[in-house]
Structure 1
Amino acid sequence: MSRIRSKSRQKALDYLVNLVLKGAIRFALALPYEKRVRGMGWLMAQVLGPVGGFRKRVRDNLAHVMPDLPANEVDRLTRAVPNNAGRTLIEIYSGEEFVQRAINAPIEGPGLARLEKARAEGRPVILVTGHMGNYDAVRANLIHRGYNMGALYRRMSNPYFNDHYVKSISKIGTPMFEQGRKGMIEMVRHIKSGGILGILTDLYVSEGETLDFFGQKARTSLITAELALKFNAALIPVYGLREPDGLSFRIVAQDEIPHSDAKTMTQAVNDGLEDLVRENLEQWFWIHRRWKYASDS
Structure 2
Amino acid sequence: MLTVPLKSVAHYVRYLPLWSALTVVRWRSFDLRSRGLGTTFAAVMRWFPPARRRFEREAKRVFPGMTRGARAKLGQDMGRYMGRTLFEIYHDAEFQTQHQKFRASGPGLDALLEAKAVGKGAIIVSGHFGQWEAIRAVLKMHGLESGAVYRPNKNRHYERRLRAGIEAAGRPILATGRVGTRALVRHLKDGGIISILLDEKYAEGVPLPFLGHNALTSLSAAQLALKYDLPLIPAYGTRLDDENAFRVEFESPIPHTDSITMTRAFNDSLSARIMANPDQWYWMLRRWDGQ
* TM value normalised by structure 2: 0.91
For 1:160 and 1:89, the matched residues in 2 are separated by 14
Contact persistence 2:121–2:230 (CA under 8 A): yes
2:30 alignment counterpart: 33
Give how far 1:186 is off: 2.1
CA distance in 2, matches of 1:29, 1:90: 11
Distance apart, 1:49 and its partner CA = 6.5
Q: Distance in 2 between matches of 1:28 and 1:292?
A: 37
Q: What's the counterpart of residue 220 of structure 1?
A: 217
State yes or no: 1:238 paired with 2:235: yes
Matches within 5 A, 1:126-205: 126-205=123-202
The offset of 1:44, in angstroms, is: 0.8
Change (3 A) 1:27 1:223: farther
1:176 offset after TM fit, Å? 1.1
**Partner Cα separation in structure 2 for residue 209 and residue 292 of structure 1:** 14
Pair 1:164–1:221, CA change in 2 (3 A): same
Distance of 1:18 and 1:253 partners within structure 2: 35
Contact 1:101 1:249 survives alignment (8 Å) = no
CA-CA distance at 1:84 after TM superposition: 0.7
Give 1:33 shift. Answer: 1.2
**Match in the other structure for 1:119:** 116
C-alpha distance in 2 between matches for 1:109 and 1:211? 26
Cα deviation, residue 143, structure 1: 2.0
* Structure 2: gaps of 5 or more residues: none
Structure 1: segments with no counterpart, 5+ residues: 1-7
Within the candidate set 63, 82, 86, 2:60 is matched to 63
Contact 1:209/1:222 (8 A) holds in 2: yes
Which residue of the partner structure matches residue 78 of structure 1? 75
| Cα shift readout 1:171-217 (whole Å, capped 9, x = no counterpart) | 23222112233322222111011111100110111111111111111
Residue among 77, 93, 98 paired with 2:95: 98
Q: Give 1:136 deviation, angstroms.
A: 0.9
Whole-angstrom distance in 1 between the partners of 2:73 and 2:16? 29
Contact 2:126-2:234 at 8 Å conserved across structures: yes
Inter-partner Cα distance in structure 1 for 2:104 and 2:92: 21
Is the Cα contact below 8 Å between 1:103 and 1:144 reproduced in 2?
A: no
Aligned length: 287
CA shift, 1:250, in A, is 1.2
1:103 Cα shift? 6.6
The secondary structure found in structure 2 opposite 1:106 is strand
TM-score (norm 1): 0.90
- Which one-letter code corresponds to 2:130 in the other structure? G
Aligned 8 A contact 2:145 2:171 in 1: no
Instruction: Report deviation, 1:245.
Output: 0.6
| Aligned CA distance change for structure 1 residues 153 and 121 (closer, same or farther; 3 Å) | same
Deviation at 1:46, TM superposition (A): 0.5
User: Identity percentage over the alignment?
Assistant: 36
Pairing 1:51–2:48 present = yes
Relative to structure 2, which stretch is displaced further, 22-31 or 77-86? 22-31
> Is residue 2:86 matched to residue 1:89?
yes
Distance 1:171 1:103 in 2: 18
Q: In the alignment, which of 233, 250, 253 is matched to residue 250 of structure 2?
A: 253
Which shows bigger deviation, 109-118 or 9-18? Answer: 9-18
- The two structures, once aligned, show a CA RMSD in angstroms of 2.0
Any idea what the Cα deviations from partners look like across 1:108-155, whole Å, max 9, x if unmatched?
Answer: 223223223322333211000101111111112212311131111111
Tell me, yes or no, if the aligned pair for 1:125 and 1:197 is still in contact at 8 Å: yes
C-alpha distance after superposition, 1:203-235 (max 9, x if no partner): 111111111111111011111111111111100
Decide whether aligned partners of structure 1 residues 11 and 212 sit closer, same or farther in structure 2, where only a CA change above 3 A counts. Answer: farther
Deviates more, 1:171-180 or 1:197-206: 171-180
Once the two structures are superposed, residues 31-56 of structure 1 have per-residue CA deviations (whole angstroms, 9 ceiling, x without a partner) of 21121011000001103774373322
User: How far apart, in 2, do the equivalents of 1:28 and 1:225 lie?
Assistant: 43
